[in-house]
Each structure stands twice: as C-alpha cells, then as structure tokens.
Amino acid sequence: MKVRVHATIANFGPGFDVFGVGVGKPYDELSFKESDEWMVRVKGYQVPENSNNIAIVSAKALAAMVGEETALEMKLTKGIRPKSGIGSSGASSLAGALAMAKVLGVEDDEMILRAAMEGERVASGSVHGDNVIPAYYGDFTIIESYEPLKIWRIPVNFEVVVVLPAIEIPTSEARKILPSKIPRKDAIRNLALAASLILALKENDLQTVGRLLDDRIALPYRKQLMQWYETVREAALEAGAYGFSVSGSGPAVFAIGEDVAQIGKVIAETFSGMDIKADVYVTKVGRGAIWF
C-alpha cells in the first residue's frame, strides 16, 4: 500500500498559521506494511532513518490514540526538500499518520490530523496545522480553531508556480524570530487582507487574490532571513505575476498569474543572477493526499 502526500503553501499571504493549500508537486510517497518492529528507509532527500523520522512520530501518535502498539515497516520516497517552506515536515507527518490509519482502519479525519500535527510539533517545535490540513484535503483551508478542530475548505484549481532556492530556512528558526506582539495597525491590515482574499478566492478573482498577497505578521520579520525577497518579488511582478509571496516560512516563494511558467523562469533567472540555484515547480493548487 502507498500514499502520496503533496507539498503545501502555508500562510498564503496574510493567513499566517491559518491559511494553506495543497499543490500538485513536489510530493512525498510512503509505502508501508504492518511489522513486528519499526523501520523506515528513505530515498530522495535525506531525513532520519530511525525513530526521529516524523513519519514514525505521527504513526506512533495515531496508534497511541486508539491504544494499539502496532509497528510499521515504511519506505519513504522524500520528494519534498526539508527546510524548504513547502511543507516537507507536514507531508511526511501526514503520510505516517495516514499509513497507520489505513493499517488500523481509522477513518476519523480529526484523529488523523491531530496525529499528523504531533509530527509537526517535533519538526518545528510548535503545533501548526496549516501544512498537514491542506495536504490532507488539498483544498484552500482556513483553520478556525483547534479546540474544537474547525476547518473551512474552499475547493480551488488554479495554476501556481513554486520556486525553491538552494537555501535552507528551518521552520523552527523562522518561528523563533517572530515577535510575540505586533502593532495594532499591522493586525488590522492583515485582517483586511485576509478577509478580502477569501472573498476574491470564492469568486475565483485571481488578479485580486494576487494583489492581496501581503503580510504584516511574519514577513516583515522573516525578510532578514531572505535579503533577496524584494528583488525577486519585483522581478515576478514585472514578469506579469498577479501576486507573489513566500511559501510557509520560506525560502520557497510562489506566484500566480497568466503565464506561471514564464513567471517561474524569470524568478529562477533572478535567483541565478545572485548565484542562487532554484528549482521551479509549475503546478496547480488543490491537490490532496492520494492512495495508490
């Protein structure tokens, strides 16, 4: 049995820790079977091949929730680079939870998601569901609350380009640098951007969605980790992007527009001009986890 879990764009502009959406590539794939002892083998990007692998962490969390001590033998094909900003830890966490759910016959969405978030807790030092939740559903998701877990879903299916520069930004580091308080005017601005973006999304008005891809909660502070941000953003907009922003905690960036392939090419060329190699993923949003 195999499960494929796609990358995600968390935050999606003004929705820090609340908005997220699944994208078609890259993705992790996990094959698994019940076993007498825990084992994970990894191909692709290197992550731990022991109990520190968060696919094991979340699989164990799900088994514990139902009082089982089942172990799995897993083979992880790691297609999403860690410390990328496109939900690498979230994808593997969800894959592990889904694997255990399949073996134990658990179909409760909330249980699977909460188990997956335990993997995120280990990877990033805090529980945030804005990778695992959109990775599960694929839809554009809005997390209203965690207790109780209340999620709003907006089906989406538009083109996006994700560009991943050869830079690493651990999510944990990108969260540590955030202030515990922000100016009221910035909170109000983000409220306005987020509410307006949801309405534009519901109307499939992508030009307006693009215009609203700003953020005053995390981006102003994280730019210190991405000195290149404004240069790349300007190049994307000049290439015709409706909007551009950082994916998750970065360094991956994304853009929407008429010709996302051309926009992605220009973004990669801009990085290249700074001697930074970048991978370009021209894909679509709205891709959730799939069994095959």
Ligand X SMILES: Nc1ncnc2c1ncn2[C@@H]1O[C@H](COP(=O)(O)OP(=O)(O)O)[C@@H](O)[C@H]1O
Our finding on whether 58 is near ligand X (CB under 6 A) is no
Measured at the CA of 85, the angle between CA 107 and CA 181, to 5 degrees, comes to 95
In the bound complex, what is the minimum distance in angstroms from residue 119's beta carbon to ligand X?
8
Q: Which of 218, 87, 86, 89 is nearest to 165 (CA)?
A: 86
- In order, the DSSP letters of 242-263 are EEEEE-TTSS-EEEEES-HHHH
What does 92 bind: ligand LJ64HWYM, ligand X, none (CB cut-off 5 to 8 Å by kind)?
ligand X
Could you say which of 79, 90, 138, 165 contacts ligand X (CB under 6 A)?
A: 90
Q: Which is nearer to ligand LJ64HWYM, 22 or 257 (CB)?
A: 22
Cβ neighbours of residue 14 under 8 Å, at least 6 residues apart? 190, 193, 194, 197, 212, 213, 214, 215, 216, 217
Our finding on whether 130 is near ligand LJ64HWYM (CB under 6 A) is yes
What does 240 bind: ligand LJ64HWYM, ligand X, none (CB cut-off 5 to 8 Å by kind)?
none
Could you say which of 34, 41, 48, 269 contacts ligand X (CB under 6 A)?
A: 48
The residues pairing with 76 across neighbouring beta strands, listed in sequence order, are 30, 42
Our finding on whether 88 is near ligand X (CB under 6 A) is yes
Measured at the CA of 150, the angle between CA 52 and CA 184, to 5 degrees, comes to 90
Contact set for ligand LJ64HWYM, span 75-104 (CB under 6 A) = 85-87, 89
Q: What's the CA dihedral at 221, 225, 227, 232 to 10 degrees?
A: -90
Our finding on whether 265 is near ligand LJ64HWYM (CB under 6 A) is no
Length of the chain: 292
Q: Which is nearer to ligand LJ64HWYM, 72 or 86 (CB)?
A: 86
Residue 224, judged by CB atoms within 10 A of its CB (0-12, 13-18, 19+), counts as: exposed
Phi, psi of 276 (to 5 degrees): -120, 120
Give the x-and-dash track for 224-263 against ligand X (CB under 6 A): ------------------------xx--------------
Our finding on whether 82 is near ligand X (CB under 6 A) is yes
Residues that bind ligand X (CB under 6 A): 47-48, 52-55, 82-85, 87-90, 92, 123-124, 170-171, 248-249
